[in-house]
Structure 1
Amino acid sequence: MDAKSFLDSILNAGKDLVSQGQDLAAKNLGVPAEGDKKDAMLSGLGKGAAIGGLLTMLVGTKVGRRLGRTALKYGSLAAMGGIAYKVVSDWQKNRDGELSGKPILELEGAAAQDRSLLLLKAMIGAAKADGHLDESEMDRIDAQIASMNLDAETVMMFKNELSKEPNVGEIAIGVDSPAAAAEIYLTSLMVLDVDNQAERKYLNDLAMALNLDQELVSQLEKEALTEV
C-alpha cells in the first residue's frame, strides 16, 4: 500500500470510527482496552481494520479526536485536496491571477506518491507540535504502522519523522506550488485544535515557511476549524 492509499484509508477509517463511536468500534473489533494485547490484536487485523485500529488507538488522545472529526468532515483524500484547492483558487481569483500546481486528486504515479509523503510528514509534524505524543505513544504507533504492509518508502518516512523534532523548513522544501502549500497547511490543521501557544506558533512558522498569504491562511483555518 502506497502513501496516497494510506492517507485515503486514514480518512475513510476515521469517518467510520467517528460515525459509529470509538467504543462501539473497539467492541466490534474485539480490541482489548489497552496495552500489549491490544497492540498485538490490532497488528493481526487486515489492512482496513488495522488502519481503523490505529485510529482507535489514537482516539483517546487529542490528536486522534481531532483527526477523527476531520475524517468525518472530509471522508477522503480527494475531498480534502479538493477543498484546499477551491480555497486557494478562490483566493487567487480575487487577485486576478492563475493558480499554479495541481491538487493531489489530479496527480498520478511518482508525483502522487511524493505529495502524499509530504502530507504525511505535515500530519506527523503537526501531531508533535506541542509534544503531546510521548515516546511510548510514538513507539506504539510505529509498531502499528509496521504491521500495515505499507511500501518501504512510506514506512521509512514514518520512522524518520516520528524520531525527530518537527521541522517546518523540511516540509516546505518539497512544496512546489500554491496548491501543494494549501494542502500541507490544511492537512496540518487536521490534527490540531490550535488551543495552545505551541500549536499556534507551529502553524505560524509553517505558514511563513510555505510563503502563504495571511488572508489565505485565515480562509484555510476557517474551513478546517468549522465544526462538522
Structure 2
Amino acid sequence: MNLGSILEGLMANQGRNQGPFGGGRPGMGGQPGGLGSMVPGGMGGLAGGALLSMILGSGAGRSRGGSLLKAGGLAVLASVAFKAYEDWKTKQMPNPNQANLPSQPPAGSGFHLDEEKDKDGNEMGLALVQAMISAAKSDGHLDSQESARIQEQIQQLSLGNDEKSFLLDLMAKPADAAAIARLPRTKEQAAELYVASRVAIGDVNTPEEKAYLDRLIALMDLPGDLVAHLDTQVDAVGKTVAS
C-alpha cells in the first residue's frame, strides 16, 4: 500500500498536495532545521474540512490535534513521542511549557518512520493511521450514519483499491484498543501509537475515552511515568501549534 496516497486521501480537498517538509510524502522526509523551523500550512488547514477532520470530530482538544498534524503530518507524532521518550529515559521532569515542535528523530532511534515496521511488517505510518481512527471512535461520536458518510467520501477519493480497502476496513471496525496494542514491536513504537491515539482524542472528556486509553496503556505495558511524559508533550505541543 502507498502510505503517501492514504495520507493525501485523508487530507483531501486541501489545495496543494505538497508535503509540509517541502515535497515528497506528506509528513515524511525532512528539511534543515527539523520540525521546529517549519512553517505550518503546506497542506492547508488540516483541521478544517478535510476527511481526517470528519473522522477526528470537533472540539478544542481535537482542533489542537488537527493543528498538530497540519504542522507535521505523521512525522510530528513520532517526534513528539521521541522527545517524551528521551526525557523519560534521562529522568527529566515532564515539561508543560514546551515552546517548539521537537526535531525529527535521528536514524536508528526507533522513532524514524522511514525505517520502522510494525509487528505485521507494514510501514509504521499505517499503524499510526489505524491508531488514530480507532481512538477517534472511542467516544461514539462516529455513529453508523457518520461512518457511512465518511465511507462514501473514501469511495470518491483518487486512491488505489488497496488504499481504499484499507480505509474502508478501518471505518467499518469499532474502536479496538486490543487490536492497536498488538501492532507495536518495541516500546518506542508503543509510545508512538499512544501519542497518535491521544492526538486523535484530544482532551479526554468522556469515561469512554479514558477507558480506551487506559486499556491501551495496560495492553501495551506502558509505564505510568512514561505516559505522563507523553501526555505532557502532546498537550504542550498541541497548545503551541494551535496558538
TM over 0.5: yes
Distance change in 2, residues 1:178/1:7 (3 Å): farther
**Corresponding residue for residue 41 of structure 1:** none
For the Cα contact (< 8 Å) 1:119–1:187, is it kept in 2?
yes
How much does 1:101 deviate? 6.5
Aligned CA-pair RMSD: 3.4
**Count of residue correspondences:** 192
Task: Please tell me whether residue 17 in structure 1 is matched to residue 14 in structure 2.
Answer: no
Q: Which residue of 2 aligns with 1:123?
A: 132
Look up the match of 2:223.
213
Percent sequence identity is 29
Counterpart of 2:69 (choices 51, 64, 71) is 71
Contiguous gaps of at least 5 residues in structure 1: 23-51
For 1:103 and 1:7, locate their aligned partners in 2 and report how far apart those are by CA, in whole Å: 19
Q: Which runs of 4+ in 1 moved over 6 A?
A: 108-112
Structure-2 change in CA distance of 1:56 and 1:177 (3 Å): closer
Aligned residue in 2 for 1:224: 234
Q: 1:106 to 1:160 in 2, by over 3 A?
A: closer
- Greater C-alpha radius of gyration: 1
* C-alpha spacing 1:147/1:108, structure 2 compared with 1 (3 Å): farther
In structure 2, list runs of 5 or more residues that go unmatched. Answer: 12-18, 21-25, 27-39, 93-107
- Write out aligned runs for 1:165-180 (5 A): 165-180=174-189
Q: 1:224 offset after TM fit, Å?
A: 1.1
Please state which structure has a larger fraction of its residues in helix.
1
Q: Is the 8 A contact 1:101 1:177 kept in 2?
A: no
Q: Cα 1:208–1:144, aligned 2, differ >3 Å: closer, same or farther? A: same
- Provide the TM-score with structure 2 as the length reference: 0.66
For residues 203-224 of structure 1, the C-alpha deviation after alignment (integer angstroms, 9 at most, x for no partner) is: 1111111110001111111111
Equivalence map 1:139-178=2 (5 Å)? 139-178=148-187
Residue in structure 2 matched with residue 83 of structure 1 by the alignment: 80
